[in-house]
């Protein structure tokens, strides 16, 4: 069996994956913000002991441990280069956690972990070339090339949310103007919706669904921007399938139907790839972390 962590700035989630790639036990605990790396390792160790106890599995049956983090990583050296939300900078997480658990540890970016999970068991299964785009507070995702997770030409990973969509546009949280994240994230809907008295992406979408004129226009503009972004990915990579995830997908066909039509209109190729909803859900990070464990 393999063990995996999805370490986020709010919670640390962990789980145990069996040989059929199914999570048999999972658990989460609050991230010890501001308490230092030792406290994070302590929470991870406590989760490890708790989950093995609940599953009635001994340490000898664990073949490896994987860790997904929201930041840039050097997977070969097991170092978290920068994970600002965690306070990790040049942190040798593989060695620290490996010493605490007495297990081999592998490291991966959380968006790459989710992409790997979607490819093995979810919406991207069976594809040779595909992309996952996660739409939340920001924009994340990953790529599948030749049937394998693509970690970047220099192993720095990929940052699809920071493709520049509009020169001199809205300022992104990364400091660059015009990033896709500034136009296609749920935060964009929240910020714009608040001006109309709809201070969440869901409330704005619901207002648009109810034909509130200003909300509907904002939503159409959002779909246009998101469609331009996805069409750019299609024209660059020619993927078989794009999976999108995140809370905005709860809008269902109200989002997906006009989005698919928009991408098709902007696609260079005669036929466009499938655009589907990601299916691995909130467990994708844990599953992907487990899958890289050796």
Record the pTM. Answer: 0.89
Q: Work out the pLDDT band at 151, boundaries 50, 70, 90.
A: confident
Which residues are 233's β-sheet partners? Answer: none
Q: How confident is the model at residue 96 (pLDDT cuts 50, 70, 90)?
A: very high
Q: Find the mean pLDDT for residues 219-234.
A: 97
Confidence of residue 153 (pLDDT cuts 50, 70, 90): confident
Task: Give the whole-angstrom CA distance, residue 68 versus residue 286.
Answer: 7
- Of the listed ranges 34-38, 81-85, 174-178, 226-230, the least confidently predicted one is 81-85
- The residue assigned the tokens 């790839």 is 273
Range of lowest pLDDT (69-73, 100-104, 164-168): 69-73
Domains and CATH numbers, the chain: 2-113+283-292 (3.30.420.40), 125-278 (3.30.420.40)
Per-residue pLDDT for 126 more than 80? yes
CA–CA separation, 287 and 3 (whole Å): 9
Among the listed ranges 90-99, 156-165, 268-277, which one has the minimum average pLDDT value? Answer: 156-165
Name which of 83, 148, 97, 98 is nearest 291 in CA terms.
148
Sign of the Cα torsion 109, 113, 116, 118 reads: negative
For a pLDDT cut of 90, what percent of the chain falls above it? Answer: 82
**pLDDT at 157 exceeding the cut of 80:** no
Can you tell me the mean pLDDT for 30-55? 96
- Residue 146 is predicted with a pLDDT of 94
For the chain, what is the mean pLDDT?
A: 94
Asked whether 125 and 119 are in contact (CB, 8 A), the reply is yes
Q: Lowest mean pLDDT of 22-26, 151-155, 169-173, 197-201, name the range.
A: 151-155
- Percent of the chain having pLDDT more than 70? 100
Mean pLDDT of 167-178: 92
Count of alpha carbons within 13 Å of 7, Cβ hemisphere only? Answer: 30
- Per-residue pLDDT at 18: 93
Distance CA 152, CA 236 (A): 15
Q: By C-alpha distance, which of 53, 46, 52 is closest to 32? A: 46
Residues 6+ apart with CB under 8 A from 154: none
Contact 263, 230 (CB under 8 A): yes
pLDDT at 156 over 80: no
């989630």: which residue's tokens?
A: 13
Q: From edge to edge, which strands make up the β-sheet containing 2-7? A: 23-30, 11-17, 2-7, 64-69, 105-109
pLDDT band at 83; cut points 50, 70, 90: confident
């Amino acid at each position: 069996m393999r063990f995996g962590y999805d370490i986020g700035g709010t919670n640390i989630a962990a789980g145990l994956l069996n040989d059929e790639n199914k999570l048999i036990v999972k658990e989460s605990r609050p991230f010890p913000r501001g308490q230092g790396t030792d406290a994070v390792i302590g929470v991870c160790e406590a989760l490890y002991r708790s989950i093995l106890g609940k599953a009635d599995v001994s340490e000898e049956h664990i073949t490896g441990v994987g860790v997904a983090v929201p930041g840039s990583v050097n997977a070969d050296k097991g170092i978290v280069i920068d994970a600002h939300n965690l306070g990790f900078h040049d942190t040798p997480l593989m060695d620290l956690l490996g010493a605490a658990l007495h297990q081999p540890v592998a490291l991966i970016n959380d968006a790459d972990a989710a992409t790997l999970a979607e490819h093995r068991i979810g919406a991207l299964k069976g594809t040779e070339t595909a992309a996952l785009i996660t739409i939340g507070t920001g924009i994340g995702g990953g790529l599948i090339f030749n049937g394998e997770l693509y970690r970047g030409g220099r192993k720095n990973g990929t940052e699809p949310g920071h493709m520049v969509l509009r020169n001199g546009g809205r300022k992104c949280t990364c400091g660059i103007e015009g990033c896709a994240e500034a136009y296609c994230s749920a935060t964009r809907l929240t910020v714009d919706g608040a001006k109309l008295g709809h201070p969440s992406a869901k409330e704005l979408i619901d207002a648009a669904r109810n034909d509130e004129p200003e909300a509907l226009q904002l939503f159409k503009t959002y779909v246009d921007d998101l469609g331009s972004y996805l069409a750019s990915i299609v024209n660059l990579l020619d993927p078989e399938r794009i999976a999108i995830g995140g809370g905005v997908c709860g809008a269902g066909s109200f989002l997906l139907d006009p989005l698919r039509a928009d991408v098709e209109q902007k696609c260079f190729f005669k036929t466009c790839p499938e655009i589907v909803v990601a299916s691995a859900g909130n467990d994708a990070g844990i599953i992907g972390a487990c899958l890289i464990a050796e």
